[in-house]
Chain A
Amino acid sequence: MTSLEVRGLVKDYRLRDGLRSTRLRAVDDVGFTLDHGRTVALVGQSGSGKSTIARLLLQLERPTAGEIRLDGRPVARRGAGLIRYRRLVQMVFQDPFASLNPHHDVAHHLARPLRLHHPELSRADVDARIRHLLERVQLDPAMAGRRPHELSGGQRQRVAIARALAPSPGILIADEPVSMLDVSIRLGVLNLLATLQREEDLGVLYITHDLATARHFSDDILVMYRGRIVEHGPADEVILNPKHEYTRLLADATPDPERRFGPAPR
């Protein structure tokens, strides 16, 4: 039962060009709420500030202005509060080839967050949880001893999802979780995320540039353009009936065979 609320979020970066420096406003007055049990998609072009928002929510960056609230209270920036925040807000990264350490086996990747966030667990408990996590993401528990290079892209991303679920978070941030995967397994991984979200009552922020999956996998869509949220609404409404010019531009740029051939007889 977690909710994450963002208000008036601003992030500036300083760009240096010789002696001069200019300011780039990557995120400009952004506000939204991530509620448990709901998926919010954040869409926009590259460079629109989507990933900066993910970094701000994960506290990998400090906002220049504005605040992030967890369950109504401003988030802790240090100490036990920060540790609790880190447990509750987890991330699935884009590239499952880079986000897993090639030197360690799958069990190690899942045991680390378990031990860090639940130090009271015995070794047997940790092993049992690892098996359980692997089953949750539809992997054979025998995979625990494998190293990342022995796994396919889809299997690796499942391990990354299991790792994010290990500390029992309330919020999951998924930054382009399937764009590096083969097309035929993308829907499977997204479906898995959706199933887990429902079972765990997670609030999910799905960051993507793919409007079609954003529409089908989320309740609400935020459209971002140059650091600002230019449109916000229920998924179908935003895609089928876009209000903002930029949303229309994005929708028109997305390949859609139905424009050429009419509705598919599927």
Chain B
Amino acid sequence: MSRPVLTVENLSVDYLVDPVVHAVRDVSFTLRRGEILGLAGESGCGKSTLAYGLVRLLKPPAAVTAGRAVFHAEDGTGVDWGELSTEQLRAARWDRISMVFQGAMNSLNPVISIRDQFEDVFLTHRPGMSRADRRRRCGDLLERVGVDRTRLRSYPHELSGGMRQRVMIAMAMALEPQIMIMDEPTTALDVVVQRDILREISRLRDELGFAVVFITHDLPLLLEISDRIAVMRDGRIVELGDAAQLYTAPRHEYTRTLLASFPSLTGDRGSFVRGVAS
């Protein structure tokens, strides 16, 4: 649990436009094996840019200008993703670190069946796998996220939003990566479906032991599911700590502001008075 799986050192990402936008500034953290690290912040604070930067998926004009992200394999060897070639990166993505991006459910190809899109992952990354194995594995993965395997024959439009999002999560787990980066994976879904998917993610994490970087602006949600939480503002991590500590004793002013932005569901009204402009 305590061994690191990803070490990020002084990572900076700039958008090289005029004037230059420093989207991520000097971010450092370690991700431990099997932990859920929450990344919270408002829109525009750089949290998604950071996620894309970790897996080197930034498109120009965005570029990593300083620092590095080192992935630690199970045998202890470290790989700096910044030094990999394009081909090595292609092979490593999804295999070591997979991603579920915001609105991922809409990234399924509408004219290709779920099965074909699923098998694509194995055809690309596990070319030696037999056809029968592939089929079985696709079905198993779908069932693992609570979708019936007969759905493999379906096309994306035949599934609900929640189901499509589950399919994406199943795909992200296909190669048993050690890290999953989830950027607002449940934002477009309603609360009941969101709850199901969160339970699923927690259960699978316990079962398979991958680490999760969970990015969202929904701080109460992160407080419920994360082991540790990083709060980002203007490209910097202003506070990083244990979820309980962050909740009960936030150190940074901005964390307090963010916490106060969410009225409590069941607690007392506290300082919260309706109709008094804040």
A binding-site residues for B, Cβ under 8 Å: 45-46, 138, 182-184, 186-188, 191-192, 194-195, 197-198, 209, 211-213, 215-217, 239-240, 249-261, 263-266
Contacts and interface: CB of A to CB of B under 8 A. Distances in A.
Interface stretch (B48-56, B149-157, B214-222): B214-222
Nearest to A259: B224
B244 A261 contact: yes
Interface in B260-278: 260-272, 274-278
A195 B263 CA distance: 17
Given A194-B275, A250-B191, A264-B267, 12 more contacts: A183-B217, A191-B278, A194-B274, A198-B275, A209-B190, A212-B262, A215-B265, A239-B265, A239-B266, A251-B265, A258-B266, A261-B247
A191 B190 contact: no
B225 to A, nearest CB: 8
Question: What DSSP secondary structure best describes chain B's contact surface?
Answer: loop
**Which size bracket describes the interface of B in this complex?**
35 or more
B10 interface: no
A191 B42 contact: no
B216 to A, nearest CB: 10
A194 B268 CA distance: 19
B248 interface: yes
A263 B267 contact: yes
A255 B221 contact: yes
A216 B274 contact: yes
A255 B243 CA distance: 14
Contacts of B42: 182-184
Contacts of B269: 216
Contacts of A198: 275
Contacts, number: 113
Contacts of A191: 274-278
B247 A257 contact: yes
B264 A212 contact: yes
A128 B142 CA distance: 61
A35 B221 CA distance: 34
A215 B263 CA distance: 9
19 contacts: A138-B277, A182-B217, A183-B258, A191-B275, A191-B276, A192-B277, A197-B275, A209-B191, A212-B220, A250-B191, A250-B192, A251-B266, A255-B221, A257-B224, A258-B267, A259-B224, A261-B223, A266-B260, A266-B270
Contacts of B263: 187, 212-213, 215-216
Contact of A182 (B43, B194, B244): B43
A172 B79 CA distance: 58
Contacts of B247: 257, 261, 264
A28 to B, nearest CB: 19
Contacts of A215: 263, 265
Interface string B206-218: 0000000000011
A18 to B, nearest CB: 16
B278 A187 contact: yes
A105 B43 CA distance: 25
B89 interface: no
A30 to B, nearest CB: 20
A259 B244 CA distance: 12
| Most chain B beta carbons < 10 A, residue from A183, A251, A254 | A183
Nearest to A191: B277
Nearest to A257: B223
B90 interface: no
Contacts of A45: 190-192
Given A255-B221, A258-B266, A186 B248 contact: no
A184 B275 contact: no
Nearest to A260: B224
Contacts of B271: 266
A191 B277 CA distance: 5
A165 to B, nearest CB: 16
A263 to B, nearest CB: 5
Interface string B235-257: 00000000110011100000001
Given A183-B258, A239-B265, A261-B247, A252 B274 contact: no
Contacts of B218: 183, 255
A153 to B, nearest CB: 8
B219 A253 contact: no
A158 to B, nearest CB: 12
Contact of B219 (A183, A188, A216, A252): A183
A212 B274 CA distance: 13
Nearest to A43: B191
Nearest to A153: B43
A256 B265 contact: yes
